[in-house]
Structure 1
């Protein structure tokens, strides 16, 4: 079974301060080839969800119809979307 490609995209921001890693809304990262460019705190949150997606599990849909999660930095609170790229 071939693992699907996972794309991580910064889609919104709720906190008052800029991202310490310099991420901006619209930035996208391929999990397999660009994960070293993503903030380690974000990857810590994203990895369990990516693992579920990779092995056929279903994540709950947000009100936007996709799956989103937050950066754990309470001053920044970037919102990221995960999707499988075909």
Structure 2
């Protein structure tokens, strides 16, 4: 036997907007790079070409531990700005739903 209960959950429906597909993007190498190859040697995703460390497989890349590489793609900057604007404006205290 099923019990039917009308339940009201606070918030705005739909709870998530449809995420638009973003183009593949990865970091570019800036002038801090000295072509030493240490990043390629230690990259756990093997995303950096050993023969040309400035060449990165953006489908494998996750993050860089130093500032020698950075994502400068315009779509990335737009999404980052949107996230800061959207989630930095109103602090909502957590609520308990039982």
Q: Would you tell me which structure has more helix in proportion to its own residues?
A: 1
Structure with the greater alpha carbon radius of gyration: 2
For the criterion TM > 0.5, the same-fold answer is no
Q: How high is the TM-score relative to the length of structure 2? A: 0.30
Q: Would you tell me which structure has more strand in proportion to its own residues?
A: 1
Q: How high is the TM-score relative to the length of structure 1? A: 0.33
